[in-house]
Structure 1
Amino acid sequence: MAMDIVLETPRLILRSFTLDDVDAMYSLATVPQVIRYVGNKPAQSKQDVLDYLQQHPLRDYQVYGYGRFACVWKATGQVIGFSGIKFLEEIQETELGYRFLPEFWGKGLATEAGSAVIEFAQTLGLNRLVAVIHPDNEGSKQVATKLGFSLEGKTQLSLLDYVEPLLFSRAI
């Protein structure tokens, strides 16, 4: 079941993932620069990506009523990344996340998408969001700061068990 939510920014359309997004997610899940700081191992096959879509965003839509959005570049209709919120059961927090193909980095898209997602999160009655960020991921720290997040400290996350990730947070 998909979320019946579509968000629009000046350059992006944020919509629910579908199983038809396997190819786009495969691109995101196999580019070393994209997954460098997130703890995911590179996808070995499109079946891996299909499993991921079913077990994460599509499941989250059903369980929580929200999840990550596919970010579609308006100019071409291409899925170029994702942004959205995800409930992290391990730390009992709702996280804002964002991930884009490298050719779209440095254009303010994570900030643009994140701002739209924060507005959406406010409609859900949430009062706080976090961003769990690898300490070496300077770009992500800058995005979080631009979006009004402040460094709260460190946290533990099994996906990032090789490092102590930073916990940024903001009220919404």
Structure 2
Amino acid sequence: MVVFETDRLLVRDWTDADGDRVFDIYRRWEVARWLGAEPRVMADRGAASKVIEQWNERNRETPYGVWAVEERDTATVAGTVLLVPLPDPSDGSAGRGEVEVGWHFHPDAWGRGLATESARGAIEHGFKAGIGEIYAVVRPDNVASLAVCNRLGMRPIGRTKRWYDAELEAFLI
């Protein structure tokens, strides 16, 4: 199911046929190094099938999801865009239902503005659904993702360990 479209992209639910591409994206250290409190690469192709199942289960929680970003011209899955509730704060404070936009792309899709385009679409999708503000959280040395936040017009709000038990740069739109 297509969730939203942009000029160059279809953002949709994952299919079983996407498993090889998911594994190819998340088996790479240059992608995985930015993800999670303890980054690690995807171990095997079976893990890709499991994560697709988990993502599609999450995609039923409209307007939230973890979606495939497919290029219109080639039908190639370039990566992932997500719009999800942030986890309960790791700093012990009370959560306020914060929502995060994020992106993970295959290196062959880097440098073409696809992360910015898909994230902008996800933000618009969230705003149309009534979400009032959306965060992005980025590792401080992830220069490419910091640049995406700037291109999206997100306001930097400083470093925090509020989520994911890691020091991250937080942005808000």
TM-score, normalisation: structure 1 = 0.86
Question: What is the alpha-carbon distance in structure 2 between the residues aligned to residue 145 and residue 42 of structure 1?
Answer: 27
Q: Quick one: distance in 2 between partners of 1:24 and 1:111?
A: 20
CA RMSD of aligned residues (A): 1.8
Does the 8 A contact of 2:22 with 2:48 survive in 1? Answer: yes
1:17-76 deviation line (CA, Å, top 9, x unaligned):
233321111111111111121134111112212222223x22222345421220111221
Superposition pairs for residues 77-96 of structure 1, below 5 Å?
A: 77-91=75-89, 92-96=97-101
The 4+ residue runs of structure 1 with deviation greater than 3 A are none
Separation (CA, whole Å) in 1 of partners of 2:117 and 2:16? 25
State the match for 2:3 in structure 1: 6
Tell me whether 1:118 sits opposite 2:123 in the alignment. Answer: yes
Could you list the runs of 5+ residues in structure 2 that have no partner in the other structure? Answer: 90-96
For residues 4-153 of structure 1, the aligned pairs below 5 Å read 4-39=1-36, 40-55=39-54, 57-91=55-89, 92-153=97-158
The unaligned stretches of length 5 or more in structure 1 are: none
Say whether the 8 Å CA contact 2:66–2:81 is kept in structure 1: yes
Residues 153 and 110 from structure 1, CA distance in 2 versus in 1: closer, same or farther, beyond 3 angstroms? same
Distance 1:117 1:70 in 2: 12
Aligned length: 164
CA distance in structure 2 between the aligned counterparts of 1:38 and 1:79, rounded to whole angstroms: 19
Identical-pair percentage: 30
Higher helix share: 1
